[in-house]
C-alpha cells in the first residue's frame, strides 16, 4: 500500500487483484482536503514489514 497525495486528495493506493490489471483510483468525498489542479502523484509513505507477537 502507498499513502499518496493527488490533486488535493489524501489517499492510500492498494492493488485489487479482481480488477484484472485495470488502472482505477476511487476516492471518497472525505479524502478531498482542498480543490487543486496539481495532478502530480506524491508518495508520502509506503507499507513495510514489521515484527509482532501474538498472545504474549
Asked if residue 40 lies in contact with residue 15, where contact means CB atoms within 8 angstroms, the answer is no
Residue 4's pLDDT is 83
The answer to whether the beta carbons of residues 32 and 9 sit under 8 Å apart is yes
Cα 10 from Cα 18, distance rounded (Å): 24
pLDDT digits (tens, 9 = 90+) for 1-56: 788 888 888 888 888 888 887 888 888 899 899 998 888 877 878 878 888 888 86
How is the chain split into domains, by residue range? 2-46
Measured distance CA(19)–CA(44) in Å, rounded: 25
Q: Provide the 3-class DSSP secondary structure of residue 30.
A: helix
State the sign of the Cα–Cα–Cα–Cα dihedral 41, 19, 27, 3: negative
- pLDDT of res. 48: 83
Amino acid at each position: 500500500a502507498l499513502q499518496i497525495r493527488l490533486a488535493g486528495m489524501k489517499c492510500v493506493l492498494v492493488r485489487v487483484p479482481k480488477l484484472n490489471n485495470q488502472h482505477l483510483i476511487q476516492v471518497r468525498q472525505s479524502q478531498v482536503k482542498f480543490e487543486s489542479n496539481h495532478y502530480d502523484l506524491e508518495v508520502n509513505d509506503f507499507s513495510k514489514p514489521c515484527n509482532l507477537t501474538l498472545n504474549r
